[in-house]
Structure 1
Amino acid sequence: MPLVGRQGRLTFRLLAVVLVGQAIVLVFFALVARGFAVAEGRDAEATRLLWLGLGLAALSVVGAGLMRSPVGVTVGWVVQALTWASAVLVHSMVAVALIFSALWVFLFVKGRQADALVARHAAEAAAGDAAPGSGAPGH
C-alpha cells in the first residue's frame, strides 16, 4: 500500500469516508476524555485532551478533503498513526485505533481492487468498440 500518491476514484472516496467517520468519533472521544479528566480533578489535562482530540479530528477532515491529491493518503496514514499514539494518553483509544485502522487498510485494498476492475472493464469496452465489425447493425 502506497504512503503517497493519487488513488483511484473509488479508493479515494472510500478512504475519505473512513476519515470523516473517524473525525466524528474522535470529536466525541475528545469530549469523553475531557469529561473523565474533569471528573478526576485534572482540569489542565482535560483541556489538553480536548484540544488534542479536536486537532486530530480536524486533521482527519483535512485528510479526507485532500484525498484526491497526492498527499491525501499520506495525511490519512498520519491520522491512523496519531490515533494509535493517542492511546498513550487515553488507553481506550486502542479500540478506536484498531477499528479505524482495520477499516482504512481493508478499504484501501478493496478500493484498489475495485479501481483495477473498473479500469479493466473500461479497457475491454474500448477494445470492443475499436474492433472491426463491432459497429451497430445497419451502419
Structure 2
Amino acid sequence: MRRLPVYGRQGKLTFRLLAVALVGQAILLSFFALAARGVAIADGRDGGRLLWLGAGLSVLALVGAGLMRSPVGITVGWLVQVLTWVSGLVVPAMFGVAVVFTALWLLLLVQGLKADELVARHEAELAAASD
C-alpha cells in the first residue's frame, strides 16, 4: 500500500469525497461549539471563548472543503482532524467525534484513491483500444 497523501492534488473522486466529509464535520463541530458554550455557562464560566474556538474549527473545516481541489486542501483537512482530537481535551465528547470523522476521513481517502486509480486505468484502456 502506498503512503497516504498529506499534500498535493487529489483525483476528482477523492477530493469530492473528502470535501463532503469535511462539510459534515463542520456541521457537527458547530453544534459542539454551542454545546461547549452551554456547558461552560452552566458551570458558571464564560463560554464565549469556547464558542469562538469551536466556530473557528468549523469554519476551518469548511475552508478545507473548499480548498480540496488545490494542493493544500488535503493538508487543511488533516489539520482539521488533528484539531478535532485536540478539542477533545476541552470537551471530552469531542473524542467520539474525532474517532468517527478520522475513521471516515481515512476510509474515504483510501477508497477515493483506489477509485481514482481504477478510473485512470479504465480511461487508459479505452484510449489504447481506440488507437
1:41 equivalent to 2:44? Answer yes
**Which structure 1 residue ranges, 5 or more long, are not aligned?**
131-139
Larger Rg: 1
1:48-69 residue CA offsets vs partner (Å, 9 max, x unmatched): 1100000000000000000000
Aligned to 1:135: none
Aligned to 1:10: 13
Q: Distance in 2 between matches of 1:15 and 1:5?
A: 13
TM-score (norm. length: structure 2): 0.97
CA RMSD, 1 decimal = 0.5
Question: What is the deviation of 1:15?
Answer: 0.2
TM-score (norm. length: structure 1): 0.91
Aligned to 1:23: 26
Question: What is the deviation of 1:40?
Answer: 1.1
Q: Aligned pairs, how many?
A: 128
Q: Distance in 1 between matches of 2:78 and 2:13?
A: 18
Helix, strand or coil at the partner of 1:88? coil
Question: What is the deviation of 1:113?
Answer: 0.2
Q: Distance in 2 between matches of 1:3 and 1:104?
A: 12
Q: Distance in 1 between matches of 2:13 and 2:19?
A: 10
Question: What is the deviation of 1:2?
Answer: 1.0
Aligned to 1:68: 69
Q: Distance in 2 between matches of 1:121 and 1:111?
A: 15
Percentage of pairs with the same residue: 66
The 5-angstrom pairing of residues 1-139 of structure 1 reads: 1-43=4-46, 46-130=47-131
**Which structure 2 residue ranges, 5 or more long, are not aligned?**
none
1:97-124 residue CA offsets vs partner (Å, 9 max, x unmatched): 0000000000000000000000010000
